[in-house]
Amino acid sequence: MSSTVIIRATDVRYQFGETPALRGADLSIVDGEILAVMGPSGSGKSTLLHCLAGILVPKSGEILYDGVRLDQLNDDDRSELRRRAFGFVFQFGQLVPELTAQENVALPLLLGGMRRHDALERASGWFERLDLSGMEQRRSGELSGGQAQRVALARGLVTQPRVLFADEPTGSLDSLTGELVMELLVGAARRDGTTVVLVTHEPRVAAYADREVVVRDGVVTSLLAGATTP
Amino acid sequence: MSVPFALLGLLEREPSHGYDLKREYDSLFGRDKPVPFGQVYATLSRLARDGNVVPGESEPGSGPERKQFTITPAGRENFDRWLSEPIEPEPHLQTVLFIKVVLSLMLGRSAEHYLDIQRASHLQRMRELTDRKRRDGLVDALLADHGLFHLEADLRWIDVTAARLSQLALEVNS
């Protein structure tokens, strides 16, 4: 793992109406690391993830991704960057119910303009990697929670993003199934050198990361015993 | 004390020598904390004194004691009783963790800082156990899981306590 900072957030503030969610969050994420963002409900950890991923634009502060000021891009450029460089996995897979599992995985490629045949072919490779062989033609209603979440993981990784943002990716799963998803997530990320930003309130999930930061009252604290911060 | 009963349990399977018992104990239960030879032999002597095992004749060969130990019917009965009893669920109210938090608040130190570094240290240990779990076989994985769940329980306590520090400070300083 290099020590190049891939994302740097400086004094990021965000509020929902009158309610402040982030009150000056600072964070640096190193290229290739798996970072757990922890904190109690309502601490601002998901808002932070959304700001880092260019889904929300901070009210003030800077988000620098690979030398680009994410917070200063217009909507189109930000969307384009998200599609090109980022992958996403959410708590409830959020698969499109009308599409097959394979089409769901291929979706980000299709949105990026890849031909349907190529996109489906690329997507199919992920079914074996994530232990999902035979599930290609199923729709989300025909998948178990763990299978659906692995399909969602495949969809998050199919574009080979530089950064995967995962918001409580095991939140809806039992411990054993959650562990399998984390195993696969970490395995795939390590192999491809993908940076992972993992929001979780579960210590057992955070333990798969290289290090953790804690968001409390909209501020990032990273007091690490024996660990290094960039 | 679980070492005597663990040895008794290993002996219930088959008669064995002290050296083999130690090796077996370490590989199953003592990965982080091997049981010393001295303790194994002392434990076997006590088990023999109390009628739980009987030593065989000394066998020729190198090493101090080459005796095979066999479990007795009484030993089997004691072992069964121990195995079927739940262990005392400890409330852990007086752990070092708790004492440090209360003393910090009482003496005007930062309990929050202490809890933060404790959380980081717990998570570091959880990372090590998670690594071990991913590398090793099922026995190690389940041992690691046991540790992970306990550490997780501590962490929940740390989080709940961290959220209530100001209230706790009022109580301990009143």
Q: What is the mean pLDDT of residues B53-66?
A: 76
Strands A60-65 and A219-221: unpaired
| Angle, in degrees to the nearest 10, between helices B138-163 and B96-106 | 20
Nearest to A227 among B120, B126, B130 (CB): B120
Cβ count near A103 (within 10 Å): 20
ipTM (interface pTM):
0.81
Instruction: Give which of B113, B121, B127 to mutate to test A binding, by max A Cβ within 10 Å.
Output: B127
Q: Which residues of B make CB contacts under 8 Å with A?
A: 113, 116-117, 119-124, 126-127, 129-130, 134, 148-149, 151-152, 155, 159, 163
Contact (Cβ atoms closer than 8 angstroms) between residue B163 and residue B112:
no
Show the tokens assigned to B91: 């409330």
pLDDT at A193: 94
Distance, CA of A78 to CA of A72 (rounded, Å): 9
Nearest to B134 among A40, A183, A224 (CB): A183
pLDDT at A40: 84
A84 to chain B, any CB pair closer than 8 A? The answer is no
As to burial, measured by CB atoms within 10 angstroms (0-12 exposed, 13-18 middle, 19+ buried), residue A170 is: buried
Segments in chain A below pLDDT 50: 225-230
Cβ contacts of A207 on chain B, cutoff 8 Å: 123, 126-127, 129-130, 148
Min Cα separation B132/chain A (Å): 11
pLDDT at A227: 42
pLDDT at B102: 84
Q: CA separation (Å) from B83 to B8, B91, B174? A: 11, 21, 46
Q: What is the mean pLDDT of residues B108-123?
A: 87
pLDDT at B62: 59
Please give the interface size between A and B, counted as residue pairs whose CB atoms are below 8 Å apart: 47
Distance, CA of A72 to CA of A69 (rounded, Å): 5
Supply the DSSP string of B84-133, one letter for each residue. HSPPPPP--TT-HHHHHHHHHHHTT--HHHHHHHHHHHHHHHHHHHHHHH
pLDDT at A226: 42
Nearest to A8 by CA among A55, A59, A51: A51
Contact (Cβ atoms closer than 8 angstroms) between residue B130 and residue A208:
yes
Distance, CA of B56 to CA of A19 (rounded, Å): 77
pLDDT at B80: 87
Dihedral, A42, A48, A51, A57 alpha carbons, nearest 10: 50
Contact (Cβ atoms closer than 8 angstroms) between residue A61 and residue A9:
yes
Distance, CA of B73 to CA of A51 (rounded, Å): 69
Residue of B nearest to A217 (CA): B163
Residue of B nearest to A186 (CA): B134
- Least confident span in B15-29, B80-94, B96-110: B80-94
Chain A, window 13-72: residues with a beta carbon less than 8 angstroms from a chain B beta carbon: 40
Show the tokens assigned to A98: 């009308």
A183 to chain B, any CB pair closer than 8 A? The answer is yes
Min Cα separation A185/chain B (Å): 13
Sign of CA dihedral A126, A165, A69, A30: negative
